[in-house]
Amino acid sequence: MNDTSTLKPGHIQGETGIWEMVIGLEIHAQISSKSKLFSGASASFGSEANRNVSLVDAAMPGMLPVINEFCVEQAVKTGLALNAKINNVSVFDRKNYFYADLPQGYQISQFTKPIVGEGEIIVDLDDGEQTTIGIERLHLEQDAGKSLHDQHPTKSYIDLNRTGVALMEIVSKPDIRSPQEAGAYVKKIRSILRYIGACDGNMEEGSLRADCNVSVRKSGEEFGTRCEIKNLNSIRFIIQAIQSEAERQVDILEEGGTIDQETRLFDTSTGETRSMRSKEDAHDYRYFPDPDLLPLEFTESWVQDIKEKLPELPDSLKKRLVKDFGITSYDASILVEEKDYVDFYQQAANGRDGKLTANWMITELFGALKKDNLSFSESPITSENLGELISLISNGTISGKIAKEVFSEMMKSKKSPSEIVKEKGLEQVSDDSEILKLIDQVISDNQDKVNEYLSGKDKLFGFFVGQVMKLSQGKANPGVVNKLLKEKLK
Ligand code: ADP
Ligand code: MG
């Protein structure tokens, strides 16, 4: 109906004009801790149902929660990595609601005094641009159990393994303006969490999931009423869900309707959101401080110690890669997404052409892994071998074209590039006399074309280069071929 080709991401063309999105995310990140937030039971994923349940998790009468210091430290570490304010006094509250997978009848969370306050992160967008997104707060809370509805025709079962597992809820400010920005924000948070080891960021296993709050407005207007889409566990779904939810809201508003504040679910099969509960059905959680737990109090020096032990984070590493290796800031932002990528890159590029290495890693290696459905850690090509390939190209042993052939052989056989080059005799030929032999052959085979060329048909030069390369089976050094051909065909 409308020309949408010029619309910016996050903008929707309606009959009455352009609408823009306002988005805020609540990310639930499971802390990489062996034991739960308030009990010693194992927090591991995938165990047999109800194997990892202590008396505290099962909420037996008289059981008392004991705070897991490691988890507290991870939350503080995360707060520091998000450039956020650490609250030296914070309080655990009971969030009361009744549900079968919550044996306590309340979730221990933090409400008015969270462990971490305001912060901000820089988010890298696909076009190489950056934007800053504010963090509202980060708090610690317990996860709930899981109802199993598919085990019995008429009954539901409960698995309490997840009950009491430590979560951090990271709440953004409503600063996000497009689904793509939301995706990039989650990517950046995940990357930071993985660098510092606070959360494994595994979205398939649910270690990281996001609730997305979405509203729309006309430019310059106040924020509209938001809807919250619950529990999205992939970046692709986050982007799809926000886009379709915003479009739904625009349709309603354009028809003169109003948005009801509600909680919605994303249906991955239809790509649309549907209502789960409206604000009227919203729980009154009757928050109050948990009388079983003292407030958390930190000394300045304890927090300082944690700060000093933080590893180098993606933003700083990115700047360093640009400076040390001369690569573009866009390439650097891809390489710093994962600590494993950076380590690999630095080893491969050490003492070599940084740009060439980045190109081969991002385009060829990432592309080949994706094609073969392999994760990065399963790469058949090691950093040493990619580095060696770069050296072989840079010192003229093989041409870029032959390098691709060697590369696919490396993917298949895991052999080193020099081994492959030797075995297959792929060394580039740069020797003048050998190349001159090939040139003479091509000239005598194509006397008519030579005459055309000499009488002014300059375009034929490329044809001769191509013929010589072909005759050499791609091994002739194209630079030398060019030079010698020019002299020969004067
Ligand atoms: P609740 O407990 O009601 O979900 P929170 O404060 O935990 O409230 O989270 C609210 C989230 O909604 C935050 O991420 C915030 O940025 C976002 N948000 C607030 N107002 C709007 C709005 N008008 N449109 C979109 N997102 C919003
Ligand atoms: Mg919320």
Task: For 408-434, write each residue's pLDDT tens digit.
Answer: 999 999 999 999 999 988 888 888 999
**Which pLDDT value is given to residue 5?**
64
The domain limits of the chain are: 11-304, 314-424, 432-489
Spacing, Cα 171 to ligand 1 middle (Å)? 8
**Which pLDDT value is given to residue 386?**
98
488 lines ligand 1 (CB under 6 A): no
Q: Model confidence over 136-152: pLDDT tens digits?
A: 999 999 999 999 999 99
**Which pLDDT value is given to residue 126?**
83
Instruction: Give the span between the Cα atoms of 458 and 147, in whole angstroms.
Output: 76
**Which pLDDT value is given to residue 332?**
95
More confident residue, 92 or 279: 92
Ligand 1 atom at shortest distance from the alpha carbon of 175: 16
The neighbourhood of ligand 2, an ion, using CB within 5 A, equals 26
For residue 163, pLDDT over 50 is answered with: yes
Instruction: Give the span between the Cα atoms of 406 and 419, in whole angstroms.
Output: 10
**Which pLDDT value is given to residue 256?**
96
Q: Could you give the C-alpha distances from 102 to 75, 123, 220, in angstroms and in order?
A: 23, 36, 43
For residue 2, pLDDT over 60 is answered with: no
Tell me the two tokens of residue 448. 């008519």
Closest by alpha carbon to 147, among 135, 163, 131? 163
**Which pLDDT value is given to residue 369?**
98
25 lines ligand 1 (CB under 6 A): yes
For residue 1, pLDDT over 50 is answered with: no
Q: Could you give the C-alpha distances from 106 to 72, 111, 144, 162, 278, in angstroms and in order?
A: 20, 13, 9, 15, 21
Q: Whose alpha carbon is nearest atom 11 of ligand 1? A: 24
Ligand 1 atom at shortest distance from the alpha carbon of 173: 16
134 lines ligand 1 (CB under 6 A): no
Is 131 within 8 Å of 123 (Cβ atoms)? yes
Q: Show the 3-state SS of 162-222.
A: CCCCEEEEEEECCCECCHHHHHHHHHHHHHHHHHHCCCCCCCCCCCEEEEEEEEEEECCCC
For residue 37, pLDDT over 90 is answered with: yes
**pTM for the full model?**
0.87
Mean pLDDT computed over 253-282? 91
Residue 196 has phi, psi (to 5 degrees) of -90, -5
**Which pLDDT value is given to residue 78?**
98
Spacing, Cα 181 to ligand 1 middle (Å)? 16
Q: How confident is the model at residue 4 (pLDDT cuts 50, 70, 90)?
A: low
Spacing, Cα 215 to ligand 1 middle (Å)? 10
Q: H or E segment at 359?
A: helix 354-359
User: Percent of the chain at pLDDT above 90?
Assistant: 87
What's the CATH code, domain 432-489? 1.10.10.410
Spacing, Cα 51 to ligand 2 middle (Å)? 30
What does DSSP assign to residue 476? B
Is 379 within 8 Å of 367 (Cβ atoms)? no
Mean pLDDT computed over 215-225? 96
